[in-house]
Structure 1
Amino acid sequence: MTDTSTVPMIRMQGVAKSFGPKKVLRGVDLDLARGESLVIIGGSGSGKSVMLKCILGLVEPDAGVIEVEGTEVTGLSGQARDTVNRKIGMLFQNAALFDSLNVWQNVAFGLIQGEGMGSKQAKDIAYDKLAAVGLSAEVGELSPAELSGGMKKRVGLARAIATEPAIIFFDEPTTGLDPIMADVINELIVETVTKLGATALSITHDMASARKIGHRVAMLFEGRIIWTGPVEEIDHSGNDHVDQFINGRAEGPIRMQVRAP
């Protein structure tokens, strides 16, 4: 009998994806252990978001294998894909709240639409999750348009944890926030992930966030993972690409295009 505690929650082997002539992922190999918080860093256009979309089945990889809890998910569709994705919660980059729904309805969306839960029970859970991210009951009746950027992120986090998923994805969780609010969100991410005992996969270019929420860091460059290690070792990675990125230096092996050719 397989010991599931040793099976990676997510495993990617040789995952490749191109869009026309543009090769975005060129053979990604990555394991994410149960209960681990892994942060993927890398510049804009390095393929971080495409990698998440491949795991979720929103984009089909051209090659390679993706496993979730030991089950291969590449090529899944319909109910089989829905079953896998119900294990995953996600905080989107810009919260991605539905303007037509109020706050509690946004938080309860997955419970009602994905799990068929009754409105009253889903509403009670939504208010519990809002409280967990520091939002009052009154906020639950507001529309997304009435929220600040930081409040939208909190609502997005409450929605991500509403179904108590085994895996949570965080897509640039601090983008657009001032440093203080960004730290508040980072603290909430650590607290909620720890409380749930969830496995977390985050993508960010915010190094303060990476250091706060990650157990381990991996850098994606030109479609491949070029370094991975404990967050405590990132300042001594021995990798010139990582060193340039985390210190925000213009000079180094990473060359950014600053004008159209």
Structure 2
Amino acid sequence: MSTPAKISLRNVHKAFGPKKVLQGVDLDVAPGESVAIIGGSGTGKSVTLKCVLGLLSPDQGSITVDGVEMIGANRSDRDAMLAKTGMLFQGAALFDSLSVWENVAFGLIEGQGMKPRQARDLAIARLADVGLGAEIANMTPSSLSGGMQKRVGLARAIATEPEILFFDEPTTGIDPIMGDVINDLIVKCTRELGASAVTITHDMASARKIADRVAMLYKGKIIWDGPVADIDQADNPFLQQFVSGEIEGPLDLDLKHL
């Protein structure tokens, strides 16, 4: 790509015992670009994300963020990378013991040392960004609906104004209408921040709305990578089967557990 990649993966491998999950992943994410990694369950989407975040250590390959190698990085470089990232977890992953505003402000207080009063004001502003009012600030996460919890999780992800956002199956567990609301909010917040974004999802409606570019992961490798606008015309039978949801096709589906 013409400009240096914000995130770059080269020949990334990861196995768990004899099970080879990633077998040479290559992927670039440009500054300000939104990329969705699609693929079925068990194809390695989450493992790829965990490798980028440093939660897993790849067996070989290279992962750079802003040109800094993350595999084997020292604590300082790892912390610097995490400080400029925000993450929306699949299940929102809110802290039950904290109020809504304390969840949103967690990175501001614990990561940046901000005073609680100032952090609360910023948390309420971020809640407003995702369509939630100040009246829920003192509520507990358990008292919120699934869709509201996702929005609180998104508010937390953007609270520190990160340069990079990660979204893990952002529409899982919520109804299609709320899923569309979440997709719209992700697009809005990502654009307003000018952040690079990586979304892992099996939801094609979500991928089409959120992403500028889509990369399909299958059997440990990216088998198709291109603009969202090119998906329906792509001459890739694996991608077309996944997009259409057909049982018949070249994808090696594990149906014995269905």
TM-score, structure 1 normalization: 0.96
Identical aligned pairs, as a percentage? 62
How far 1:169 moved relative to its partner?
A: 0.3
- The question of 1:53 aligning with 2:50 is answered yes
Matched, 1:210 2:207: yes
State yes or no: 1:22 paired with 2:19. Answer: yes
What letter is aligned with 1:83? A
Q: Which residue of 2 aligns with 1:40?
A: 37
How far apart in 2 are the matches of 1:16 and 1:255? 20
Runs of 5+ in structure 1 lacking a partner? Answer: none
Counterpart position of 1:223: 220
Any idea what the Cα deviations from partners look like across 1:57-97, whole Å, max 9, x if unmatched?
11000000000011111112423211111111000001000
1:117 to partner: Cα distance = 1.2
Counterpart of 1:62? 59
1:146 has 2:143 as partner:
yes
**Alignment root-mean-square deviation, CA:** 1.0
Deviation for aligned residue 1:100: 0.5
Q: Number of residue pairs matched? A: 256
State the secondary structure of the residue aligned to 2:137: helix
Q: Which residue of the partner structure matches residue 168 of structure 2?
A: 171
Q: Following superposition, which runs of at least 4 residues in structure 1 exceed 2 angstroms of deviation?
A: 77-80
Q: How many Å separate the matches in 2 of 1:208 and 1:60?
A: 31
Superposition deviation, residue 255 in structure 1:
2.3
* Structure 2 letter corresponding to 1:42: G
Which amino acid counterpart does residue 190 of structure 2 have in structure 1?
Answer: V
Return the match for 1:199 from 191, 196, 219: 196
- The letter of the residue matching 1:7 is P
Cα deviation code 1:34-53 (max 9, x no counterpart): 11010110000000011011
Instruction: In structure 1, give the amino acid aligned to 2:5.
Output: P
C-alpha separation in 2, matches of 1:255 and 1:6: 36
- Residues in 1 aligned to 2:166 and 2:81: alpha-carbon distance in whole angstroms: 14
CA distance in 2, matches of 1:100, 1:29: 40
1:259 Cα deviation from its structure 2 partner: 2.0
Moved more, 249-258 or 210-219: 249-258
SS at 1:182 equivalent? helix
CA distance in 2, matches of 1:41, 1:191: 21
Q: Which secondary structure state, in structure 2, belongs to the residue aligned with residue 141 of structure 1?
A: coil
1:232 corresponds to 2:229 = yes
Q: TM-score, normalised by structure 2?
A: 0.97
**In the alignment, which residue of structure 2 is the partner of 1:244?**
241
Specify the alignment match of 1:128 in structure 2.
125
Q: 2:159 maps to what in 1?
A: 162
Q: Deviations over 1:87-121 (max 9, x none)?
A: 11000001000000010000011111111111111
Report the CA distance between 1:179 and its aligned residue. 1.1
Equivalent residue letter for 1:144: P
Task: Report whether the alignment pairs 1:181 with 2:178.
Answer: yes
Alignment partners' CA distance in 2, 1:49 and 1:111: 26
How many Å separate the matches in 2 of 1:147 and 1:77? 39
d(CA) in 2 for partners of 1:164, 1:182: 23
Are positions 1:81 and 2:78 aligned together?
Answer: yes
> Structure 1 counterpart of 2:8, which letter?
R
- Following the alignment from structure 1 to structure 2, what is the Cα–Cα distance between the partners of residues 189 and 221? 25
109-118 vs 242-251, which deviates more?
A: 109-118
Match of 2:99 among 96, 102, 117: 102
Structure 2 residue 111 is matched with structure 1 residue 114: yes
